[in-house]
Chain A
Amino acid sequence: MTDRPIIDIRNAAKSYGSLEVLKDISLQVKRGQIVAIIGPSGSGKSTLLRAINDLDPLTSGEVWLEDTQVNKKLPTRQYEAHINAVRQNIGMVFQHFNLFPHLNVRDNITLAPKMLKGLSKAEADQLAVEQLNKVGLLDRIDYYPSQLSGGQKQRVAIARALAMKPKVMLFDEATSALDPELVEEVNLVMKQLAEEHMTMIIVTHEMGFAQDVCDRVLFMDQGVVVEEGPPEVIFKAPANDRTKNFLRKHLKGQN
């Protein structure tokens, strides 16, 4: 039972016209696992991540969240209801935060829980306090996004995603848009989530972080998973030349 994957991607393929961005990718992620997807830009890693909640629908292949097929083919209206329900279980954090600028931090966090889970205002406020405590920003509860630093915005965005109590969290280059000195505070929040055994799939350019935190690393290039394995293997003893090349460029100056 516990061995059954929480996310199961089967033969995922996606193309834009003749351009194949994902070629027959299969990936299983178990509950509590933390998977990093690395690779050069244009390798398809973000597309794969965004296929998991059907934000970028696949051309063919299946995505399963536990017993539910995420990208089920349904008539428009039924699909809408289906995908909205599925997405409540899959939190996502974006490179550019995408906080709602017209809402303060509290309302950013409570908008979806109030609307979708029928939380009362008091319950929702309690939830916002809990989540902000987790990311260490309780004192910013009444601030607007424009009054926060990049790192704080991303921590609020994480709190917003967590407020829906998702089963899986997807991180799409969560620290790529941050000033270097702000990266660490976001990494710390993610590490803390990892310690709480949140299932996480992380697209990242930060090899150090992937090495420290993740159970598994996937190296993608040109729409395929070139190599995958535990971080010790991928980073210390990669088998594939493309992986070696990529890591040589990226690990320069690190470690």
Chain B
Amino acid sequence: MIRVFPFFLKAAWVTIQLSVLSCLLGLACGALGAAARLSRSSALRLAGATYVSVIRGTPALIQVFILYFGGPQVGIQLEAFEAGVLALGFNIGAYMTETMRGAIIAVDRGQTEAARTLGLSRFETFRSVTLPQALRLMVRPLGVNINALIKGTALVAAISVVELTYTAQRYIGSTYKPFEMFFLAGAIYMAIIYVTGLGVNWLDRRVALK
């Protein structure tokens, strides 16, 4: 057990990197997706809706496989880690799109009306009135998305990214202790999730209304 521990810590670092990078990509995709879905242009709305329904309608594992194994066929050669970050980021981005869109829609229409009657433009209204209120509404649900993302990083074990789940599987071979190996991996996931949850709580308190 103690012998494998350093390898698990190294693997945990890979899992954290996967999580952070795909989370950032997901937030960017989510913001773009939400903007598209709420756009005045029907082409953009359709593009946003298609992104969301394709990603949410197919298994994340298939998305990882398509990018990693199918990519080279169309000239996209990616390292396993890169493919993992991209696939996970695009995937969670679709869920974040809906989270962000929901939070923006949930801001009372009277807020927009009040701002627009003062003479603020659509953009000024969004930036100064709608967005600050929507951000408060989206912190917790985005936390739920991020929680799912962290656990979802286990999927990229299937394309041999040496993260926690892959590492656990690998050391079963030499230790013959599947219970301990998976338990250790699970405990580390839980620790990461716990710390992330503290971060989300802190952020939620920070942006809370006075």
**A, B: real partners:** yes
**Residues on A close to B: CB < 8 A?**
53, 55, 80, 84-85, 87-88, 90-92, 94, 96, 98-102, 104, 111-112, 115-116, 144, 146-147, 157, 160-161, 164
Tell me the bound Cα distance from A99 to B115 in angstroms. 9
Q: List 17 A-B contacts (CB under 8 A).
A: A80-B122, A87-B117, A87-B119, A88-B119, A92-B114, A92-B117, A100-B111, A101-B209, A111-B115, A111-B128, A115-B120, A115-B128, A116-B118, A116-B119, A144-B210, A146-B209, A161-B117
B119 — nearest CB in chain A belongs to which residue?
Answer: A88
Chain B 130-161 near chain A by CB (<8 Å), digits 1 or 0: 00110010000000000000000000000000
Structural contact, A88 and B110, CB atoms closer than 8 A: no
Residues in chain B near residue A80, CB distance under 8 A: 121-122
Q: Do A87 and B113 contact each other (CB < 8 Å), given the known contacts A102-B133, A115-B128?
A: no
Contact residue among B121, B124, B129 (Cβ-Cβ distance under 8 Å from A100) = B129
Chain B 101-121 near chain A by CB (<8 Å), digits 1 or 0: 000000010110111111111
Structural contact, A96 and B110, CB atoms closer than 8 A: yes
Main secondary structure of the interface of A (DSSP, over half): mixed
Contact residue among B116, B122, B132 (Cβ-Cβ distance under 8 Å from A55) = B116
Closest CB in chain B relative to A215 CB, distance in Å = 24
Residues in chain B near residue A85, CB distance under 8 A: 119
**Residues on B close to A: CB < 8 A?**
108, 110-111, 113-122, 124, 128-129, 132-133, 136, 209-210
Tell me the bound Cα distance from A190 to B67 in angstroms. 65
Q: Do A101 and B133 contact each other (CB < 8 Å), given the known contacts A96-B110, A144-B210?
A: yes
**Which 6 pairs of residues, A with B, have the shortest CB-CB distance?**
A98-B114, A88-B119, A112-B118, A98-B110, A92-B117, A87-B119
Main secondary structure of the interface of B (DSSP, over half): helix
Q: Give 5 new A-B contacts, CB below 8 A, not counting A84-B121, A102-B209, A112-B115.
A: A94-B110, A98-B108, A98-B111, A147-B210, A157-B114
Residues in chain A near residue B121, CB distance under 8 A: 80, 84
Residues in chain B near residue A94, CB distance under 8 A: 110, 113-114
Structural contact, B118 and A160, CB atoms closer than 8 A: yes
Residues in chain A near residue B114, CB distance under 8 A: 92, 94, 98-100, 157
Residues in chain B near residue A102, CB distance under 8 A: 132-133, 136, 209
Contact residue among A84, A98, A111 (Cβ-Cβ distance under 8 Å from B113) = A98
A144 — nearest CB in chain B belongs to which residue?
Answer: B210
Tell me the bound Cα distance from A160 to B120 in angstroms. 13
Tell me the bound Cα distance from A147 to B108 in angstroms. 19
Tell me the bound Cα distance from A88 to B113 in angstroms. 13
A55, A92, A94, A102: which has the most chain B beta carbons within 10 Å?
A102
Residues in chain A near residue B120, CB distance under 8 A: 84, 111-112, 115-116
Closest CB in chain A relative to B112 CB, distance in Å = 9
